[in-house]
Amino acid sequence: MCGIVGLLVKTPALREKLGELMVPMLIGMTERGPDSAGLAVFGNPLAETERKISIYSGLTEDGADFNWLGLGHALKEHLGVAVSIEPKGNHAILSFDVAPAIIKRWIAEHHPKLHILSTGRSIDLYKDIGTPAEVAARYGFAGLTGSHLVGHTRMATESAVTPDRAHPFTAGEDFCLVHNGSLSNPNGIRRMLEPRGIRFETDNDTEAACRFLEWRLREGDDLETALQKGFEELDGFFTFLMGTPDKLALIRDPFACKPAVVAETDDYVAIASEFRSLAHLPGVKHANVFEPAPEEMYVWNA
Amino acid sequence: MERLTFDLAAQPLRELNTFLHTGAKEGKVGHVTVLNPDGAHNIAVGLDCPIEVEVVGHAGYYAGGMNKAATVTITGSAGTGVAENMMSGKVHVKGFASNGAGASAHGGLLVIEGDAGLRCGISLKGGNIVVGGSVGSFSAFMAQAGRMVICGDAGDALGDSLYEAVLYVKGEVKSLGADAQYEEMSAEDIAAVASLLDQAGLDHDPKAFKRIASKRSLYHWNADANQEY
């Protein structure tokens, strides 16, 4: 079992309150996912040539005391790249104006225990083990701003409880996915993708779905076509919620084995595994509340 | 008869259910209103006295489950397994219901004014279900006794491995499950549909429904079938 939550605000004024509205949603899914939690938030994109990466230092010896400033100096010294760093405990967001592969390669060589969570122009990502309330407090989720976000509370069934196996998973740039369910053919998907040069970081089944869909998008499919190929290739139980810089997308397996409910008003679209996580939202009593149908695509634009 | 109100924003659910299992049986309170259900699980489960419960808002999983004699009305939607294993009485959902509505109900009447999710009436054992909207796939799977009236459409594999439950559908059926077949509507069928629609408070022409029941070809093992049914 796991919990998923998603929130997309239509009213620009609500962007400032995105995190504040979302935290009770995430905490509402604690019973469905008490072991880990995480979220990806999408905000105004950086300039065309700039990129940012979210990094996790909890697996290094220094953990939350990791010397982020030192990392910034080292990148300047070795690569001549000016990097701006926003540390938040064992997470940090690095922004720079070069190809992200250069930075990521240097980090992999010099700090192999730093775990890169996301790359892009719009996405920031936080995930860790702990209850949703603990994780939300640790990274100040209530203060997050942006147009939309994708969150997850995990009760592990398919792989170990570790920060890197928490959700959301990302692949490529500015794409993330959270999953409630379990896939039955993740290894088949891996065997299909790995010879195409796609590298996996964990043994988690959700990572296979994430990398499969991102691969389709990179091959030129639009989101709807990629999701249709997902229905054809991904076997098992799933409710997937995905984020791109301008979209939130939801699909459920043909048996609708895993729940989802949507509440939509003029101000927002909110998605959760159960209504419990939507009950506090302003105006929800007059929202259009519905259950998304199995094997249908739901895509909302930010 | 007295009326009582429980506000789940201020009172724990256990307080409500404890009253419904104990105090309610004294017979002084005839009606209980439940405010701010906010999707909580197990609201008004296991009732066994003729009390009226009105849940104002959206209920979570298993609302009205195992109901006996009581009348539970939910003004919003209901989560997974509403009225599952109901024995008697009535559960009425004004909005939509999620998966497994009325699963294995032995008796009573479940009314869903909106749509029902997948596996509605799975393993029905004698209860009646009236759905004002459509039902999802695999509804009435292995349903053994009772009736389902579906005013909208049905998804895939309706009535798969059906026993003696009878289904009536007004709209389109995407596909019938193994061993389910269309049959002629008799005068008795029309009267049964009319009665159930009346009890549900829904207005449809009973003659517009199609009857689906079991072919009974799966009742006995057929060694010659070569796994093809």
The residue among A97, A121, A145 that closes a domain is A121
CA atoms of A271 and A250, how far apart (whole Å)? 9
User: Does residue B54 lie within any of the structural domains?
Assistant: no
Q: Cβ B58–A279 below 8 Å, yes or no?
A: yes
Most A-contacting residue of B119, B134, B137 (CB-CB within 10 A), to test interface:
B137
* pLDDT on residue A223: 94
Most A-contacting residue of B58, B135, B139 (CB-CB within 10 A), to test interface:
B58
Most B-contacting residue of A32, A276, A296 (CB-CB within 10 A), to test interface:
A276
* pLDDT on residue B221: 80
CA atoms of A25 and A19, how far apart (whole Å)? 10
The residue among A86, A121, A156 that closes a domain is A121
Size of interface A-B (CB pairs under 8 A): 49
Could you tell me if A264 and A220 lie in one domain? yes
Q: How far is CA A166 from CA A177, A208, A251, B228, in A?
A: 11, 14, 20, 44
Look up residue B156 and give its two tokens. 């895939």
The per-residue pLDDT for range B178-209, each reduced to its tens digit, is: 999 999 999 999 999 999 999 999 999 999 99
3-class DSSP state for residue A154?
strand
Name which residue leads in pLDDT, B226 or B157. Answer: B157
Q: Could you tell me the CATH number of the domain that includes residue B156?
A: 2.160.20.60
CA atoms of A117 and A128, how far apart (whole Å)? 11
CA angle (A272 as vertex; B119, A277 as ends), nearest 5: 110
The radius of gyration of chain A from alpha carbons, rounded to an integer in Å, stands at: 18
The per-residue pLDDT for range B97-127, each reduced to its tens digit, is: 999 999 999 999 999 999 999 999 999 999 9
Question: Which chain A residues are Cβ-neighbours of B38 within 8 angstroms?
Answer: 275-276, 279-280
Could you tell me if A171 and A291 lie in one domain? yes
The residue among A30, A44, A10, A37 whose CA lies nearest residue A282 is A10
What part of A 80-119 touches B (C-beta under 8 Å)? none
- Name residue, tokens 């010896």: A61
Please provide the DSSP assignment of A166-178 as one string: SSPEE-SSS-EEE
Domain containing A242 equals 2-45+130-301
Q: Could you tell me the CATH number of the domain that includes residue A174?
A: 3.60.20.10
* pLDDT on residue B30: 96
* pLDDT on residue A276: 97
* pLDDT on residue A178: 97
Report the gap between the CA of B1 and the closest CA in chain A (Å).
Answer: 30
User: Does residue B189 lie within any of the structural domains?
Assistant: yes
Q: Cβ B38–A293 below 8 Å, yes or no?
A: no
* pLDDT on residue B27: 93
Could you tell me if A141 and A115 lie in one domain? no
User: Does residue B144 lie within any of the structural domains?
Assistant: yes
Could you tell me if A166 and A230 lie in one domain? yes
How many domains does chain B contain in total?
1
A262 in reach of chain B (CB within 8 A): no
How many domains does chain A contain in total?
2
Closest CA in chain B for residue A292: B117
Look up residue A45 and give its two tokens. 């994109």
pLDDT tens across the length of chain A (302 residues) = 899 999 999 999 999 999 999 999 999 999 999 999 999 999 999 999 999 999 999 999 999 999 999 999 999 999 999 999 999 989 999 999 999 999 999 999 999 999 999 999 999 999 999 999 999 999 999 999 999 999 999 999 888 999 999 999 999 999 999 999 999 999 999 999 999 999 999 999 999 999 999 999 999 999 999 999 999 999 999 999 999 999 999 999 999 999 999 999 999 999 999 999 999 999 999 999 999 999 999 999 99
Could you tell me if A37 and A117 lie in one domain? no
* pLDDT on residue A208: 97
Could you tell me if A187 and A245 lie in one domain? yes
Domain containing B198 equals 99-217
The per-residue pLDDT for range A125-158, each reduced to its tens digit, is: 999 999 999 999 999 999 999 999 999 999 998 8
Report the gap between the CA of B27 and the closest CA in chain A (Å).
Answer: 32
* pLDDT on residue B229: 58
CA atoms of A6 and A122, how far apart (whole Å)? 16
CA atoms of B154 and B212, how far apart (whole Å)? 12
Q: Are B24 and B4 in contact (CB under 8 A)?
A: no
Closest CA in chain A for residue B59: A275
The residue among B93, B102, B24 whose CA lies nearest residue B54 is B93
Could you tell me if A145 and A219 lie in one domain? yes
Q: Are B72 and B88 in contact (CB under 8 A)?
A: no
Q: Cβ A274–B39 below 8 Å, yes or no?
A: yes
The per-residue pLDDT for range B56-111, each reduced to its tens digit, is: 999 999 999 999 999 999 999 999 999 999 999 999 999 999 999 999 999 999 99
Q: How far is CA B197 from CA B122, B170, B191, in A?
A: 21, 12, 10
State yes or no: is A176 an active-site residue.
no
Could you tell me if A109 and A230 lie in one domain? no
Q: Could you tell me the CATH number of the domain that includes residue A91?
A: 3.30.70.260
Could you tell me if A60 and A142 lie in one domain? no
In what side-by-side order are the strands of the sheet with A84-88? Answer: A84-88, A91-96, A51-56, A115-120
User: Does residue B13 lie within any of the structural domains?
Assistant: no
B81 in reach of chain A (CB within 8 A): no
Question: Phi and psi at residue B26, in whole multiples of 5°?
Answer: -70, -15
- Between helix A205-218 and helix A223-233 the angle, nearest 10°, is 140
Closest CA in chain A for residue B119: A255
Q: Are A233 and A189 in contact (CB under 8 A)?
A: yes
CA atoms of A44 and B20, how far apart (whole Å)? 52
Closest CA in chain A for residue B98: A291
Could you tell me if A213 and A90 lie in one domain? no
Q: DSSP code of A45?
A: P
User: Does residue B17 lie within any of the structural domains?
Assistant: no
Could you tell me if A156 and A184 lie in one domain? yes
Q: Are B192 and B173 in contact (CB under 8 A)?
A: no
Sign of CA dihedral A143, A45, A239, B173: positive
User: Does residue B123 lie within any of the structural domains?
Assistant: yes
User: Does residue B47 lie within any of the structural domains?
Assistant: no
**Residues of chain B above pLDDT 90, percent:** 94
Q: Is pLDDT at B226 greater than 90 in this prediction?
A: no
Could you tell me if A106 and A143 lie in one domain? no
Indicate the burial class of B224 (C-beta count within 10 angstroms; 0-12, 13-18, 19 or more).
exposed
Q: What is the ipTM of this complex?
A: 0.93
Look up residue A52 and give its two tokens. 């940012």
The rounded mean pLDDT for chain B is 97
* pLDDT on residue A1: 85
